[in-house]
Structure 1
């Protein structure tokens, strides 16, 4: 892969100016999966609360939404209920939406959370399937490491995309896809 695919953007020389190098590799988690459905169907599953509540979260989790407004500047406020009974309050602000290609968001426990992280979810058509990639950049390497080690963010993200794939397959099988 190119350095850009790993979150590296090399500095470029423009005249006598050096543009700063941005390197987020030590602060990011990237998870991807191919979902066997058209891009528009997969995007819809990510953008309508009636779908999200059916699949969002790792295995064994359920989601209760208290507010959802899918637009740039809109928010999704929800609680993820863990299989052990623990509730995890979550807050997402959608920062950019390019349907059906990309969703950029800020994700924390609450509005103004200083430890909130940025994510970009992309949807790339691959024939009749869709490659979904979630690229998350944390404010610090320490927060990234804590998410990976303490909260199992990589495994949880992979399970979440697995739940999306299973949900979309069922929607397509039933002919409910838009």
Structure 2
């Protein structure tokens, strides 16, 4: 089961159709779970927003063409469910012309729709080199499980490997105080970010 599907309700939430495979037979299991209202996604879908700020990347391979030149990197951002199906996006930063291996993006996105169970979703960041006349080259990718995010209006900063050599991506996310684990103290309004 994916606990990221639970809402921030104090009520018990049913899990049905859970099958446990055994050596000889399968067992059907039904049960209920409660977060006591302490964490989970908001039952109000409008509160399940995600703000993403792509800051910069370092250590990207400069692979523009055989004749030299610097990479023209950009980042494509999607939100996927546990099986990898896209539920929001893609959204793309501006192409950083001739930025090379250490581009600055400073690009902000807000995913306002499609996040029914954000804590069960993943944020996928793919970095590409924009090419003219041929398919764009992938420079790396990183994934963040959104179930790790706190329920806070503060930005949460990340520095993840892009899976290629020393390449890294630096970004921040904000649940806008609408969902995540560990609810904020009273008096903080949902739907706003405290940052910068």
Scaled by the length of structure 2, the TM-score of the pair is: 0.30
Larger Rg: 2
Scaled by the length of structure 1, the TM-score of the pair is: 0.32
Structure 1 or 2: larger helix share? 1
Instruction: Answer 1 or 2: higher relative contact order, Cα 8 Å, separation at least 6.
Output: 1
